[in-house]
Amino acid sequence: MDIFKKCYDWKEADEVRASGLYPYFHKLESRQDTEVIMEGRRRIMLGSNNYLGLTICPEVVEAGVKAIEKYGTGCSGSRFLNGTLDLHLELEAEIAQFLGKEAALTFGTGFQSNAGIISALVGMHDYVICDRENHASIYAGCQLSFGKLLRFKHNDMADLAACLDRVPDDCGALVVVDGVFSMGGDVVNLPEVVRIAKAHGARIMVDDAHGLGVLGKGGRGTAYHYGLENEVDIFMGTFSKSLASLGGYLAGNAKVVDYVRHHSRPFIFSASLPPANAAVALAALRHLEAHPELPERLRAISEYARKGFKARGIRIRESALGLPTPIIPLYTYTSQATFLAVREVFKRGVYVNPVLPPATPEGEALLRTSYMATHRESQLDEAIDVIAGVMKELPS
Q: From its phi and psi, is residue 157 left (phi > 0), alpha (psi between -120 and 50) or beta?
A: alpha
Residue 251 β-bridge partners: 104, 235
CB 13 within 8 A of CB 339: no
Indicate if 210 belongs to the active site.
Answer: yes
Distance CA 266, CA 250 (A): 13
Residue 207 β-bridge partners: 178, 236
**DSSP per residue, 236-265:** EEESSSTTSSS-EEEEE-HHHHHHHHHH-H
Indicate if 291 belongs to the active site.
Answer: no
**Active-site pick, 182, 264, 319, 370:** 182
Distance CA 115, CA 216 (A): 26
Distance CA 394, CA 336 (A): 10
**Active-site pick, 88, 101, 148, 210:** 210
Give the single-character DSSP code of 388.
H
Query: Comparing C-alpha atoms, which of 317, 315, 357, 321 is closest to residue 156?
Result: 321
Name the CA dihedral angle for 181, 184, 189, 190, rounded to a multiple of 10 degrees.
Answer: 20
Is 27 strand, coil or helix? coil
**Active-site pick, 241, 264, 270, 287:** 241
Residues annotated as catalytic are 182, 210, 241
